[in-house]
Amino acid sequence: MGDSPVDDAAALAKWTTFLQDYAKGIEQPPPPPLRSTNSHDSTKSRELPSFDVPLYPPGETEISPATARRVAEFYDDHGFLPPPRADEESVRLRTIQEYNLFREDQAENFHRSTSLVNTIFEFAPVCTMSLFHNDVQVVVSKGEGLVTETSICGHVVLKKNGQTTELNEVSGDWRFAGNPWSVASNVKGYVGVPIMLEIDPFNPSGSDRVTVGVLALMSNRPFPPLAAAQLKVLNDLCTMLSVQLRSTWEGWRRGKEARLRNAVSLFLEAALVEPSQKAIVNTATMKAPLVQGSRSERHAPARGEAKKVTSNLFMNAACQIQELLEADFAIIIDLTPFFATMVSAVATASTLAAPGPPSR
């Protein structure tokens, strides 16, 4: 006989809470299976789905009972736990974009770090650096994307405190026993270290941090337990990488600001200053006195014509500067009327102050 509806609801509630906590970095053994008998059998080989439809729906901020049931049944069928989406996915995405971590100069920082780790930890022939972007694990060194449902690094990126994950024998961990990286790719030893960055690079001392990626060491042989000194080296290397990623961002930011200042200066000169000066000169030309007998039809420009021309120039320039700087808004203040008023006021004051003719 199957489980009663009450028992099924209680078991589903446990799986829902378990996955919600796991997504927040709280690790604990899984609840009992939802089914009355465990359908996973090591003697059988169930074909994995293509994951065209993700197990965890994109945009789901908190794991629902429907998602929990789907994941629990998947775990029961295949013998490994797909890592849930963290509650900080949107923050991680914004941080990756802000630091431009997919730029070539940032990728070079990752390559140097993995090369150094390969040199120090000779027992780990494979060293990768992965970023998690739009529910995809991007292996930076290879430039390829992997689904996160089978990702081992996807579990490491959930850690909130930057804690290293050390798996001396991957198949011995309940989360990865049936994982294709363990079964098909024969990954036996694994170490994953989170790469963390400040969410607000403009205020690093007062900013929270988020895990953007994972440095992973892998081998087709079980790993010996890492000594405390080896763990410290790994953590120090990842800290140094974080500092270098930030330094590269600062250099890129300063260069971008300098280029923008230069571009804006050149733009203002070419698109605003020179045309406005010409417009003012053209519209300020007074009507020349007619030569006796001529039939000239020239007329003096209207008083507000120059102001209208320059206003249009300022409006177009402000729109183009806003687009150039990717700013929320741009304002150009025309001080020409203010200057003209000041000149007029000074002239009036000088006239009033001038001594009159002596009285008789």
Average pLDDT over residues 121-146: 83
Q: Which of 185, 162, 175, 180 is nearest to 236 (CA)?
A: 162
Does the pLDDT at position 9 exceed 80?
Answer: yes
Least confident window among 29-33, 111-115, 137-141, 269-273: 269-273
Report the run of H or E that residue 211 belongs to, with start and end.
Answer: strand 209-219
Report the run of H or E that residue 147 belongs to, with start and end.
Answer: strand 144-147
Can you read off the two tokens belonging to residue 103?
């730029």
Q: How many CB atoms lie within 10 A of CB 180?
A: 14
pLDDT given at position 345: 60
Does the pLDDT at position 321 exceed 80?
Answer: no
CA-based R_g, the chain, Å: 34
pLDDT tens digits for 187-202? 999 999 999 999 888 8
Confidence of residue 284 (pLDDT cuts 50, 70, 90): low
- pLDDT higher at 352 or 86: 86
Average pLDDT over residues 284-297: 51
Average pLDDT over residues 65-81: 94
Q: Which of 253, 283, 274, 256 is nearest to 317 (CA)?
A: 274
Does the pLDDT at position 323 exceed 50?
Answer: yes
Least confident window among 101-105, 220-224, 269-273, 349-353: 349-353
Average pLDDT taken over every residue of the chain: 80
Does the pLDDT at position 109 exceed 60?
Answer: yes
Does the pLDDT at position 311 exceed 60?
Answer: yes
Number of H helices, E strands in the chain: 10, 6
Least confident window among 40-54, 209-223, 297-311: 297-311
Domain definitions of the chain by residue range: 1-79, 87-255, 256-284+302-350
CA 131 → CA 27, 43, 68, 139, 207, distances in Å?
22, 35, 25, 7, 21
pLDDT given at position 37: 57
pLDDT given at position 42: 46
Q: What pTM value is reported for the model?
A: 0.70
Confidence of residue 123 (pLDDT cuts 50, 70, 90): confident
CATH of domain 87-255: 3.30.450.40
pLDDT given at position 44: 46
